[in-house]
Amino acid sequence: MHEDTHGRGRQLEVFRRMTAVQRLNAAARLYWSARELKEAALRAAHQGWTEEQIQQAVKDALLFHRG
């Protein structure tokens, strides 16, 4: 796979220009977006699961980096 080194360099430059608070906010947005996407995928794949099962699976997936 071809790596986009120009794009990666640009991305790193943007991160370098951010304050610590901006980087923390970006990380938090990324986390919550990943969580929402994982919830949606689990709901679609396991329509019979309870809310508790969904939330536990989301926690496990993010904590243990599984699918």
Q: What parts of the chain have a pLDDT lower than 70? A: 1-3, 66-67
pLDDT of residue 47: 97
37 CB neighbour count, 10 Å cutoff: 11
Amino acid identity of residue 12, one-letter, is: L
Specify the DSSP element, H or E, that contains 21: helix 20-45
pLDDT of residue 4: 74
